[in-house]
Amino acid sequence: MRSYLFTDRDRERLRAWLESGVEDDGTRMIFVAMRRSLRRIVVDVDLMVLVLRRLRAEGRLMGRARLPGDLGRTVRGLESGLRACRKLS
């Protein structure tokens, strides 16, 4: 997943346009790309917000949730048992 929408150069052009109102061909190309992508970006951002809300509700927003110590040992034991069973068959 990309972690940005604009390149550094795009940001410079857009900030300059916001401050001065002056635009060039590069700035207009950014506007066209923004218009073309807007619907998909909005849908993707909505999806991201829903996922982030769920992660926050599960206590996983700031990092991966960890299994409780006993449960982790139990799961590892079950995995070992499954590997042993597969070797026998």
Q: pLDDT tens, 4-46? A: 999 999 999 999 999 999 999 999 999 999 999 999 999 999 9
How sure is the predictor about 72, in pLDDT bands with cuts at 50, 70 and 90?
Answer: low
Distance of alpha carbon 7 from alpha carbon 50, whole angstroms: 26
Residue 65 is predicted with a pLDDT of 61
Distance of alpha carbon 22 from alpha carbon 75, whole angstroms: 62
Which tokens sit at 23? Answer: 């635009």
Distance of alpha carbon 82 from alpha carbon 89, whole angstroms: 11
The residue ranking higher by pLDDT, 58 or 79, is: 58
Contact 52, 61 (CB under 8 A): yes
pTM, rounded to two decimals = 0.61
The residue ranking higher by pLDDT, 79 or 36, is: 36
Residue 64 is predicted with a pLDDT of 67
pLDDT > 60? residue 89: no
Nearest to 40 by CA among 12, 5, 9, 7: 5
